[in-house]
């Protein structure tokens, strides 16, 4: 017996974000982004922060240390755990480098997106929107002199992440 329903064209999961039957929505406007506007309110020793803006853990912040590679994924052993089936176990990495921090997809099924565009690797800038599965995250940089006032949604200080997600 033949199927009478029209076949829906399949698109590559590594295509544009709108090819995935989802919509890219920039994170809500926060402090002015750009090279001349460092984020205020970061912990005094923070170089950069990754904040979950949309997803199950919205509001949670992760301090990025320049000496460590940070692994993002669904696996509970990852540095930044994004617990949703749309996220691969070991989805992406944030690597420090001479140009700042670089986002690198680690061969995930659904891909990683920077400002709505699919990426394999890309240098992060202040205010960039990162999309990983259902999560939308914002990368913020700051100066080292700001007061330590950043808080997560629960009122706890932001987590400082250390490298350590085991390869599965």
> Which tens digit of pLDDT belongs to each residue from 84-140?
999 999 999 999 999 899 999 999 999 999 999 999 999 999 999 999 999 999 999
pTM above 0.85, yes or no: no
> Which tens digit of pLDDT belongs to each residue from 34-54?
333 344 556 666 789 999 999
| Residue 93 Cα distances to 2, 72, 102, 121, angstroms | 45, 6, 8, 9
């Amino acid at each position: 017996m033949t199927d009478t329903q029209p076949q829906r064209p399949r698109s590559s999961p590594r295509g544009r974000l709108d090819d995935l039957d989802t919509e890219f929505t920039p994170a809500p406007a926060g402090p002015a982004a750009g090279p001349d506007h460092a984020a205020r309110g970061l912990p005094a020793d923070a170089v950069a922060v990754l904040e979950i803006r949309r997803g199950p853990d919205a509001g949670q912040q992760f301090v990025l240390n320049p000496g460590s590679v940070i692994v993002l994924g669904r696996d509970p052993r990852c540095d930044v755990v994004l617990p949703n089936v749309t996220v691969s176990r070991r989805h992406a990495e944030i690597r420090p480098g001479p140009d700042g921090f670089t986002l690198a997809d680690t061969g995930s099924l659904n891909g990683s997106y920077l400002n709505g565009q699919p990426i394999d690797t890309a240098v992060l800038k202040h205010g960039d929107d990162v999309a990983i599965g259902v999560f939308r995250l914002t990368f913020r940089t700051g100066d080292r002199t700001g007061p330590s006032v950043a808080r997560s949604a629960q009122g706890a200080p932001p987590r400082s992440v250390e490298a350590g997600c085991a390869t599965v």
